[in-house]
Chain A
Amino acid sequence: MKFIKQFGIILSVTFIGEILRFLIPLPIPASIYGLIIMLFVLKIGIVKLEHVKNSAGFLIEIMPLMFIPAAVGILASWEVLKKIYIPIIFITITTTIIVMVVTGRITQYTIRIDKRKEKIHG
């Protein structure tokens, strides 16, 4: 019973996300609307953490599996891709590394500066 209710809540929020996606003409998917709505209903207390936690934990744990079908789709798009695949692979690898390093370092730098300030003032 517990799981039916939990999955029901998750799917309701997902469905509301889908409705918003339909109504709002922006390239924002149902999942992002749903994520924001879920955060909101948890925050104001309509939905309690224990009402969704087990099912959500299960879905998050099996999440890597959900990317396999789309990734195998490379087989189908190979014809279009093979003309420019060398520069694309190069750009994909370099930019992914650069973005990860820059974002991580800048976030860490800002956190540590703030911590230092807190120590001085606090």
Chain B
Amino acid sequence: MGDLLCSSTFFGVFISIMGYELGLFLKKTFKKAVFNPLLISIIFVIIVLLIFHVDYGSYNNSAKYLSYLLTPATVCLAIPLYEQLELLKRNVKAIITGIVSGVLTSIGSIFLLSLLFHFTHEQYVTLLPKSITTAIGMGISEELGGIVTITVTVIIVTGVLGNIIAEPICKIFHIEEPIAKGIAIGTAAHAIGTAKAMEMGEIEGAMSSLAIAVAGLMTVVGASIFSNFI
């Protein structure tokens, strides 16, 4: 069974979709934020791989076609953004203020917590780009001397976590303006968070898409300055 699954071309995409469908079903049945379809699908796939002794390389070999679509899909985020361009122009000050404070908060809090845990320079710069989109974050981590595999993992965990907590956080902290919700989600949890923002509404999705690009670019500058501090 394991051999068959390792050599299959469609197994990877198949169990990924199965896991996601299972997540959608659980979410519909129990209506709790913990039953996040993305989280459920990740756990489901990991369990299946462990049970059937399929190594990650074989799984990824057949599931990589999903990742392949990520770049064109990110390009497509320009479309909801274009549809909200007027709204963006009218609120440009609030949007920029929000993203700048978010990026500074992210870098600053990682700096303080790294001091607290006595992190080495290597461990510190590994975490610095954790809130931005994987492709930019990997580049920053590599450039500053971080451990790239951990950076990628932390970025993804951040995104999945942001995807799960987005709705409860907005509710608890009374973030009610759709623009503010979108900017918060995109700045804190990049594209994976944006997938949730898209579900919440058109404005949320567009603003979250914008925040991925702007926060990502600002972090390139911010992280290179802050990397000298530890």
Residue from B81, B131, B143, B154 within 8 A of A88 (CB atoms): B154
Residue from A32, A91, A100, A106 within 8 A of B166 (CB atoms): A100
Residue from B64, B77, B192 within 8 A of A60 (CB atoms): B77
Asked if A49 is an interface residue, CB under 8 A from chain B, the answer is yes
A60-B76 contact in complex given A31-B135, A107-B98, A110-B93, C-beta closer than 8 Å: yes
Asked if B156 is an interface residue, CB under 8 A from chain A, the answer is yes
Contacting pair B45 A72 (CB below 8 A): yes
* A residues near B127, Cβ cutoff 8 Å: 88, 91-92
Mark out the residues of chain B between 71 and 130 whose CB falls within 8 Å of any chain A CB in the assembled complex: 71-83, 85, 91, 93-95, 97-99, 101-102, 105-106, 109-110, 113-114, 117, 119, 123, 127, 130
- Give CA–CA (A63, B20) in the complex, Å: 12
Contacting pair A38 B76 (CB below 8 A): yes
Interface size class of A (residues with CB under 8 A): 35 or more
Give the dominant DSSP class at B's interface. Answer: helix
- Give CA–CA (A71, B195) in the complex, Å: 15
Mark out the residues of chain A between 36 and 74 whose CB falls within 8 Å of any chain B CB in the assembled complex: 36-39, 42-43, 49, 52-53, 55-57, 59-74
- Give CA–CA (A72, B160) in the complex, Å: 12
Contacting pair B177 A107 (CB below 8 A): yes
* A residues near B102, Cβ cutoff 8 Å: 99, 102-103, 106
- Give CA–CA (A46, B142) in the complex, Å: 37
Contacting pair B16 A96 (CB below 8 A): no
A38-B75 contact in complex given A31-B133, A60-B198, A88-B127, C-beta closer than 8 Å: yes
Give the dominant DSSP class at A's interface. Answer: helix
A17-B75 contact in complex given A76-B56, A114-B94, C-beta closer than 8 Å: yes
Contacting pair A73 B152 (CB below 8 A): yes
Residue from B38, B74, B130 within 8 A of A31 (CB atoms): B74
A80-B97 contact in complex given A35-B78, A63-B191, C-beta closer than 8 Å: no
- Give CA–CA (A87, B93) in the complex, Å: 36
- Give CA–CA (A96, B60) in the complex, Å: 27
* A residues near B192, Cβ cutoff 8 Å: 64, 67
Number of A-B contacts (CB under 8 A): 305
Asked if B34 is an interface residue, CB under 8 A from chain A, the answer is no
Smallest CB separation, B70 vs chain A (Å): 4
Contacting pair B213 A32 (CB below 8 A): yes
* B residues near A103, Cβ cutoff 8 Å: 98-99, 101-102, 105, 180, 183-184, 187-188, 211
Contacting pair A99 B109 (CB below 8 A): yes
A72-B123 contact in complex given A29-B71, A42-B82, A49-B83, C-beta closer than 8 Å: no
Closest Cβ neighbor of A34 among chain B residues: B75
7 A-B interface contacts by CB (under 8 A):
A14-B71, A59-B69, A62-B73, A63-B198, A80-B147, A99-B131, A107-B97
10 interchain residue pairs of minimum CB distance: A27-B139, A107-B98, A29-B135, A104-B184, A103-B102, A38-B78, A34-B75, A31-B74, A110-B94, A104-B175
